[in-house]
Amino acid sequence: QLVQSGAEVKRPGASVKVSCKASGYSFTSYGISWVRQAPGQGLQWMGWISVYNGETKYAQNLQGRVTMTTNTSTSTAYMELRSLRFDDTAVYYCARTFDILTGSDWFDPWGQGTLVTVST
Amino acid sequence: DIVMTQSPDSLAVSLGERATINCKSSQSIFSRSNSKNYLAWYQQKPGHPPKVLIYWALTRESGVPDRFSGSGSGTDFTLTISSLQAEDVAVYYCQQYYTSPTFGQGTKVEIK
């Protein structure tokens, strides 16, 4: 399973770092993708990291603002989003991917989600 | 990016009746190298993360009831719930993984 960190409230321009702790499987044999969902909206893929070799792929609209990392000693993945804007308010999900080379895969399982609110 | 378009945006179906959701991709997501369509279907209930139902367009995830089935190839796909149950009320999403993943806008399924 994947267990994420708690809700965050941030000011515009700040950064947020969400964690995703994995258990019950071999962490380094898979990848982790991050998907976000704005309130009442659909799902948007943000990017992927191969825990196997550290390769990353990011959605074009987030390039330069997002960084995904992992700590294999604690089986934890991280997503940091910088220069937060009001429209970054969303629930952020981590999800496991089976593909460790391309990042193009379906997602199973998902974390419970972390609400990030950007507000003054 | 490949654009995924679902139809309808919402539908109301009587208990025990069939529900059909369509998903169209802006380009083919079929790979000739492995003869697979790179499409998954998810169910999302309020306050919960999505749950995968179907992958490779027609392979049911373990534990998913057999009333859920996927079909289609190339650019046109369908998720069918053969006999709608109360617990199937949810939003359903299709997702392609032929290239960087993209999702359809979602279809809300309700009881008539």
The secondary structure element, H or E, covering residue B15 is none
pLDDT 10s digits, B33-91: 999 999 999 999 999 999 999 999 999 999 999 999 999 999 999 999 999 999 999 99
> Tell me, what's the pLDDT at A31?
95
User: Which residue of chain B is at minimal alpha-carbon distance from A3?
Assistant: B49
Q: Do A59 and B100 touch (CB under 8 A)?
A: yes
Is some CB atom of chain A closer than 8 A to the CB atom of B108?
no
Say whether pLDDT at A81 is over 90: yes
Residue A63 has pLDDT above 90, yes or no: no
Q: Closest-CA residue in chain B for A2? A: B49
Given the structure tokens 């993708």, which residue do they identify? Answer: A33
pLDDT band at B7 (very low <50, low <70, confident <90, very high): very high
Distance from CA of B102 to the nearest CA of A (A): 7
Tell me if chain A has a CB within 8 Å of the CB of B101.
yes
Instruction: In whole angstroms, give the CA distance from residue A105 to residue A117.
Output: 28
Q: What is the mean pLDDT of chain A?
A: 96
DSSP code for A87: G
Given pLDDT bands bounded at 50, 70 and 90, which one contains residue A100? confident
Cα-Cα-Cα-Cα torsion A97, A99, A100, A102, nearest 10 degrees, comes to -110
